[in-house]
């Protein structure tokens, strides 16, 4: 046990280790995939930054060029009108200022380097008439570009009138001489910002050639951008390529963090969950496969056990079969001589005998009948316990049967000096469907016991009948004033072989089977039986039966005790190999004025039946040459009407079934009483 437990524990820990291994491998794999994915995402971001940076640079450059171009347009208009248009200069400058937010002011610097006009004048008063030759950073650049007639773009400078701007000088020539410059004070902040509105995820920084940062968009404070994510481009602002602005373009920190992250994180979480799940599944799969192996082993064992069991069952069936055959044989062997004994007793009883001989004859009758009832009881209990008992369905009146049975017992009771009273609360005889024989057997057993165990007083039999829908509810009480049953025996009284007094010195005869059979029969009929008793005072047995109701006219009775019938002129064939039995039957039939003929086996019987007319044939079943079943089968091929009654000491169900199958009208079991014989004759030959 301990060893088994230990091996189970080690299996369990092995399963856990394996599942843990699966989880660890899964987690490692997921992390590796996650790292690869993250790297890939950074590459993507780099690529996107370059593309977006290039696009943004292009857009910014276009804005700068087109804004500077507007100043150039102003200059061209003055030049091609040879100065005529100059009078509209202020007007045009105002319109330009209104339309374009990149211009802070526009001024006219004449060829002597003095600022002559400024639009708008407000806020720029300080610079009117300002000589820019006096300003170091202005003079050289201005002069150089005037000389080569190209636009001059300064750095991001501090203005005299305050604030900062780029100064863009466009030289104007007409009348073959230099006239002055149209100079714009430019600040691209608004224009750039409106372009960059759609690029919220990125930061932009622009520096002039002097390294001054003049434009920042989304740039976080003190942020050091990683070099691989920084896109730089030099923007050539003027045509000569002298003025170069540097664009720095990079993703904002929060964008870097969130880029592909939610997908990555979801993937990571899903991956990790799947790893854990796989581990758990692998654990349960291992447990399931271990369990399946165990079930397989158990199944194998069960199969082996089943084979062994079915072999045992075969043996038991064989033993049971042997027992049944043995009982049938014994029954036959005991009943056959008993038949002769009881038969002769019946014959003798109907003769004139001396009183003493009559007394001995009665004692012989009593002992033989006891022996017969013992054989019957043993056969009956075997039939019940092997499940071979079947109930017949016949219409009968329980009340009438009781009355008749009481009648049968009355003489014995009177002889013993006991009273036997019958009362019934019912009005009229109600009819029911059931097995009359078994009903009588139940009552007979109870009456026989009350007779046996009562020595003074008497017995009362009481019947109550009640109709409930299509059922007849019957209650039968058999109460005696006998020796009673001790309380501690009441619970076992219905068991097989149970007797209150089982000592060798017991006064009463019996096998202890009667009540067991009674109990089983009542149960089989769907009823109940109970007992109440007091030692020394008496016992009461109560049987309750619920029977199907029958139509009133179809009632029969098994007991015709007092019926006087005449069989004069009837002729009966006795087919029987046992000479003693033939003699007994012949004697009884002769006493009933019936003519008899005898055939000692089936073959002789076939001839006799063919040649003569018989009112009835008593056909023994066990015979040499040709047995009774076979003989009946042959007779039935030609003669369907002839009444054939089987005769045998074999009372097994199989024998009864075969009799019916070969075509016998009925089956009379040996030994039979004179009364039973008359009953058969009344039914089939009267
Ligand atoms: P038996 O053949 O011994 O009578 P039963 O099965 O009929 O077998 O009865 C079993 C025992 O129950 C009897 O031996 C007897 O001791 C007791 N018993 C049955 N009926 C009565 C009764 N009416 N009065 C007293 N004892 C009884």
Does residue 120 have a cis peptide bond before it, meaning omega lies within 30 degrees of 0?
Answer: yes
Q: Which value, in Å, is the radius of gyration of the alpha carbons in the chain? A: 65
| Cβ(113) – ligand 1 distance below 6 Å | no
pLDDT tens-digit map of 243-259: 899 999 999 998 888 87
Nearest-atom index, ligand 1, CA of 499: 14
| Cβ(247) – ligand 1 distance below 6 Å | no
From atom 23 of ligand 1, which residue's Cα is the shortest distance away? 450
Task: Compute the distance between CA of residue 632 and CA of residue 609 in angstroms, rounded to an integer.
Answer: 11
Ligand 1 pocket test, pick from 482, 483, 499 with the greatest ligand atom count within 8 Å of Cβ, gives 499
Nearest-atom index, ligand 1, CA of 377: 2
CA of 71 to the centre of ligand 1 (A): 141
Helix (H, G, I), strand (E, B) or coil at 567: coil
Task: Compute the distance between CA of residue 35 and CA of residue 601 in angstroms, rounded to an integer.
Answer: 107
Nearest to 204 by CA among 233, 178, 177, 179: 233
Helix (H, G, I), strand (E, B) or coil at 249: strand
By the 10 Å C-beta count (0-12 exposed, 13-18 middle, 19+ buried), 109 is classed as: buried
Nearest 5°: the CA angle 377, 383, 387 is 145
Task: Compute the distance between CA of residue 225 and CA of residue 30 in angstroms, rounded to an integer.
Answer: 30
- Residue 498 is predicted with a pLDDT of 67
- Residue 376 is predicted with a pLDDT of 78
By the 10 Å C-beta count (0-12 exposed, 13-18 middle, 19+ buried), 153 is classed as: buried
Nearest 5°: the CA angle 463, 466, 469 is 155
Instruction: Say which residues have a Cβ less than 8 Å from residue 603's Cβ, sequence separation at least 6.
Output: 625, 626, 631
pLDDT beneath 70: ranges in the chain = 1-9, 260, 328, 497-498, 501-510, 552-565, 651-653
Task: Compute the distance between CA of residue 383 and CA of residue 387 in angstroms, rounded to an integer.
Answer: 6
Whether residue 511 contacts residue 490, with contact meaning beta carbons closer than 8 Å, is answered with no
DSSP of 638-679, one letter per residue?
A: H-SSS-EEEEES---HHHHHHHHHHT-SEEEESS--HHHHHH
- Residue 78 is predicted with a pLDDT of 92
Task: Compute the distance between CA of residue 533 and CA of residue 540 in angstroms, rounded to an integer.
Answer: 6
CA 546 to chain centre: 39
- Residue 336 is predicted with a pLDDT of 76
- Residue 559 is predicted with a pLDDT of 47
Task: Compute the distance between CA of residue 247 and CA of residue 571 in angstroms, rounded to an integer.
Answer: 143
CA of 515 to the centre of ligand 1 (A): 7
- Residue 563 is predicted with a pLDDT of 47
- Tokens for 238? 């003027």
From atom 7 of ligand 1, which residue's Cα is the shortest distance away? 514
Nearest-atom index, ligand 1, CA of 512: 8
CA of 537 to the centre of ligand 1 (A): 15
Q: What is the dihedral of CA 571, 577, 580, 581, to 10 degrees?
A: -50
Strands (E), 32-132: 103-110, 115-119
CA of 448 to the centre of ligand 1 (A): 9
Task: Compute the distance between CA of residue 109 and CA of residue 138 in angstroms, rounded to an integer.
Answer: 12
- Residue 154 is predicted with a pLDDT of 92
- Indicate the length of the chain as a whole number: 686
DSSP of 627-644, one letter per residue?
A: -HHHHHHHHHHH-SSS-E
| Cβ(532) – ligand 1 distance below 6 Å | no
Nearest-atom index, ligand 1, CA of 484: 25
pLDDT tens-digit map of 270-326: 888 988 898 889 889 988 988 999 999 999 999 999 999 999 999 988 887 787 777
Nearest-atom index, ligand 1, CA of 494: 6
| Cβ(529) – ligand 1 distance below 6 Å | no
Nearest to 233 by CA among 497, 454, 53, 45: 53
Q: How many CB atoms lie within 10 A of CB 302?
A: 12
CA of 365 to the centre of ligand 1 (A): 22
- Residue 572 is predicted with a pLDDT of 94
CA of 499 to the centre of ligand 1 (A): 6
What does DSSP assign to residue 113? S
| Cβ(481) – ligand 1 distance below 6 Å | no
Cα Dmax for the chain: 191
| Cβ(486) – ligand 1 distance below 6 Å | no
For CA atoms 554, 560, 562, 566, the dihedral sign is positive
Nearest 5°: the CA angle 367, 372, 374 is 95
Whether residue 441 contacts residue 598, with contact meaning beta carbons closer than 8 Å, is answered with no
- Residue 456 is predicted with a pLDDT of 94
Single pTM value for the model: 0.48
Task: Compute the distance between CA of residue 78 and CA of residue 302 in angstroms, rounded to an integer.
Answer: 115
Ligand 1 pocket test, pick from 515, 532, 538 with the greatest ligand atom count within 8 Å of Cβ, gives 515
């Amino acid at each position: 046990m301990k060893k088994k437990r230990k091996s189970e524990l080690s299996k369990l820990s092995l399963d856990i280790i394996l599942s843990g291994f699966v989880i660890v491998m899964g987690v490692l794999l997921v992390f590796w995939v996650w790292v690869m994915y993250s790297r890939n995402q950074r590459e993507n971001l780099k690529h996107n930054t370059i593309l977006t940076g290039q696009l943004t640079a292009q857009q910014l450059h276009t804005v700068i060029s087109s804004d500077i171009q507007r100043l150039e347009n102003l200059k061209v208009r003055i030049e091609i009108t040879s100065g005529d248009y100059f009078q509209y200069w202020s007007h045009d400058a105002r319109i330009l200022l209104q339309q374009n937010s990149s211009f802070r002011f526009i001024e006219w610097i004449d060829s002597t380097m003095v600022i002559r006009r400024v639009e708008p004048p407000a806020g720029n008063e300080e610079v009117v008439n300002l000589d820019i030759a006096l300003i170091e950073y202005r003079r050289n650049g201005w002069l150089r570009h005037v000389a080569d007639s190209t636009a001059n773009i300064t750095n991001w400078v501090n203005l005299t009138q305050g604030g900062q701007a780029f100064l863009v000088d466009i030289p104007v020539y007409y009348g073959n001489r230099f006239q002055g410059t149209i100079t714009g004070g430019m600040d691209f902040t608004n224009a750039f910002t409106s372009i960059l509105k759609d690029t919220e995820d990125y930061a932009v920084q622009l520096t002039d050639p002097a390294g001054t940062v003049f434009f920042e968009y989304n740039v976080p404070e003190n942020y050091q951008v990683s070099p691989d994510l920084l896109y730089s481009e030099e923007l050539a602002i003027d045509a000569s390529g002298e003025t170069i602005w540097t664009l720095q373009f990079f993703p904002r920190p929060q964008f870097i963090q969130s880029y592909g992250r939610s997908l990555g994180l979801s993937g990571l979480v899903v991956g990790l969950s799947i790893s854990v799940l796989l581990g758990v599944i692998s654990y349960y799969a291992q447990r399931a496969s271990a369990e399946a192996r165990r079930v397989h082993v158990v199944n194998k064992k069960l199969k082996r056990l089943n084979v062994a069991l079915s072999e045992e069952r075969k043996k038991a069936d064989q033993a049971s079969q042997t027992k049944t055959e043995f009982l049938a044989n014994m029954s036959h062997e005991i009943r056959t001589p008993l038949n002769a004994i009881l038969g002769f007793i019946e014959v003798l009883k109907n003769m004139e005998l001396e009183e003493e001989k009559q007394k001995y004859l009665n004692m012989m009758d009593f002992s033989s009948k006891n022996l017969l009832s013992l054989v019957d009881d043993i056969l009956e209990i075997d039939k019940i316990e092997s499940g071979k008992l079947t109930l017949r369905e016949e219409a009968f009146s329980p009340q009438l049967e009781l009355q008749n049975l009481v009648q049968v017992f009355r003489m014995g009771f009177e002889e013993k000096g006991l009273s036997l009273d019958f009362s019934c609360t019912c009005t009229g005889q109600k009819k029911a469907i059931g097995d009359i024989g078994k009903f009588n057997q139940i009552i007979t057993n109870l009456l026989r016991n009350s007779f046996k165990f009562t020595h003074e007083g008497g017995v009362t039999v009481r019947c109550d009948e009640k109709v409930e829908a299509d059922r007849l509810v019957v209650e039968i009480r058999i109460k005696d004033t006998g020796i009673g049953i001790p309380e501690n025996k009441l619970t076992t009284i219905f068991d097989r072989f149970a007797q209150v007094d089982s000592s060798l010195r017991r006064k009463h005869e019996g096998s202890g089977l009667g009540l067991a059979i009674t109990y089983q029969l009542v149960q089989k009929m769907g009823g109940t039986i109970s007992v109440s008793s007091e030692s020394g005072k008496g016992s009461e047995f109560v049987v309750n039966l619920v029977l199907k109701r029958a139509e009133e006219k179809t009632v029969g009775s098994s007991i015709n005790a007092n019926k006087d019938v005449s069989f004069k002129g009837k002729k009966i064939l006795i087919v029987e190999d046992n000479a003693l039995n033939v003699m007994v039957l012949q004697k009884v039939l002769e006493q009933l004025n019936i003519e008899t003929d005898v055939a000692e086996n089936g073959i002789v019987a076939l001839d006799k039946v063919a040649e003569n007319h018989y009112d009835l044939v008593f056909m023994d079943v066990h015979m040499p040459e040709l047995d009774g079943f076979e003989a009946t089968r042959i007779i039935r091929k030609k003669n369907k009407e002839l009444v054939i009654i089987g005769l045998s000491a074999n009372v097994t169900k199989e024998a009864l079934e075969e009799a019916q199958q070969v075509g016998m009208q009925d089956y009379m079991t040996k030994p039979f009483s004179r009364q039973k014989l008359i009953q058969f004759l009344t039914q089939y030959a009267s």
